[in-house]
């Protein structure tokens, strides 16, 4: 499934030149030089997912029946934390090795067993319990499959906008929206690509970022922008002290060399909270 991301990313990278022209569909609304920025980030070659490491799991996933593959996609997405993807993949693999990637198996499994298998991922306790609940719901309502719409996915415990859009893309090959995680959210704000309605302020929630980004970003970029910015965000445009000197697109970035921990809005918020 991670392989799918790479494939889509590569396909888009090769057609990016073409997609630059399609941006003329949204004149005035899109930020200046956004094509150059995406191109520049692509050239820095920090794709999020290591192709070699993902191959093994990808094969295992591809051999599953569609229903089981989709459930595996959902389970894996639930465990994911983009900043620590190797940990996520390890946890998914351990579940898979123990035959615990189907709704049926998880429903029958002991919650403690699942908790131990996914232990290295963040929030393992909550995620183990959510996984059990989701397995139960999938069996009762969807015959062991997963919901096929954003609305129904959002009803599952522990599934929010980020995971539901990811699952629609990876599980159903259906692009309903951009998968906005913390990296996409942070970087789009630094680039000045999204703002709160009418004002020039940064968006506060990833969900706001998603809507704002979708207003102007051409559809063919909706899937590849995630692995592109996740990789970039982990290696160069880091949350604290971004490496602007090494960044090939800093000349297009209004926040370049300015975004120190003290000026980032999250730090401001926590600093404010401590004072109160």
231 belongs to the binding site for DNA (CB under 7 A): no
Q: Looking up tokens 């070699």, which residue turns up? A: 52
Instruction: Tell me which residue of 69, 128, 135, 125 sits closest to 96, measured CA to CA.
Output: 69
The string over 143-174, giving b where at least 16 C-beta atoms fall within 10 Å of a residue's C-beta and e elsewhere, is ebbbbeebeebeebeebebbbbbbbbbbbbee
Binds DNA (CB under 7 A): choice among 30, 148, 176, 267: 267
161 belongs to the binding site for DNA (CB under 7 A): yes
Residues 121 and 7: their CA atoms lie apart, in Å, by 26
125 belongs to the binding site for DNA (CB under 7 A): yes
Supply the minimum distance, in Å, between the C-beta of residue 184 and DNA: 8
CA–CA–CA angle 244, 249, 255 (5° rounding): 55
Supply the minimum distance, in Å, between the C-beta of residue 271 and DNA: 7
Instruction: Tell me which residue of 72, 69, 106 sits closest to 89, measured CA to CA.
Output: 72
Q: Between residue 203 and residue 222, which ones bind DNA under the rule CB under 7 A?
A: 206
Catalytic residues: 162
Binds DNA (CB under 7 A): choice among 7, 123, 201, 215: 123
Q: Which is nearer to DNA, 159 or 213 (CB)?
A: 159
Q: For DNA, which stretch binds (CB under 7 A), given 17-25, 30-38, 161-169, 195-203?
A: 161-169
192 belongs to the binding site for DNA (CB under 7 A): no
Following CA atoms 26, 9, 192, 263 in sequence, which dihedral angle do they give, to the nearest 10 degrees?
170
The residues that touch DNA, with contacts defined as CB under 7 A, are 80-84, 87, 119-126, 156-164, 181-182, 185-186, 206, 238-241, 261, 264, 266-267, 269-270, 273
């Amino acid at each position: 499934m991670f392989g799918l991301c790479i494939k889509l990313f590569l396909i888009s990278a090769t057609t990016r030149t073409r997609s630059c022209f399609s941006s003329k569909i949204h004149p005035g609304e899109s930020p200046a030089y956004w094509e150059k920025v995406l191109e520049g980030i692509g050239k820095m070659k920090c794709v999020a997912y290591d192709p070699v490491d993902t191959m093994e799991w990808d094969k295992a996933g591809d051999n599953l029946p569609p229903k089981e593959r989709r459930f595996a996609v959902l389970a894996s997405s639930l465990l994911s934390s983009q900043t620590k993807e190797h940990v996520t993949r390890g946890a998914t693999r351990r579940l898979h090795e123990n035959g615990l990637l189907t709704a049926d198996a998880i429903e029958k499994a002991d919650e403690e067993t699942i908790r131990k298998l996914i232990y290295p991922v963040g929030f393992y306790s909550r995620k183990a319990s959510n996984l059990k609940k989701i397995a139960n719901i999938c069996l009762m309502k969807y015959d062991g499959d997963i919901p096929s719409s954003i609305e129904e996915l959002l009803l599952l415990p522990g599934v929010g906008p980020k995971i539901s859009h990811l699952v629609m893309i990876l599980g159903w090959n259906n692009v309903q929206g951009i998968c906005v995680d913390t990296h996409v959210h942070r970087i789009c704000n630094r680039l000045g690509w999204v703002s709160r309605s009418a004002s020039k302020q940064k968006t506060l929630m990833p969900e706001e970022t998603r809507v704002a980004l979708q207003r102007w970003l051409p559809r063919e970029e909706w899937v590849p922008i995630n692995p592109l910015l996740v990789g970039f965000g982990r290696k160069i445009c880091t949350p604290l002290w971004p490496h602007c000197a090494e960044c090939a697109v800093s000349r297009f970035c209004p926040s370049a060399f300015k975004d120190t921990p003290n000026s980032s809005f999250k730090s401001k918020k926590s600093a404010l909270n401590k004072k109160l």
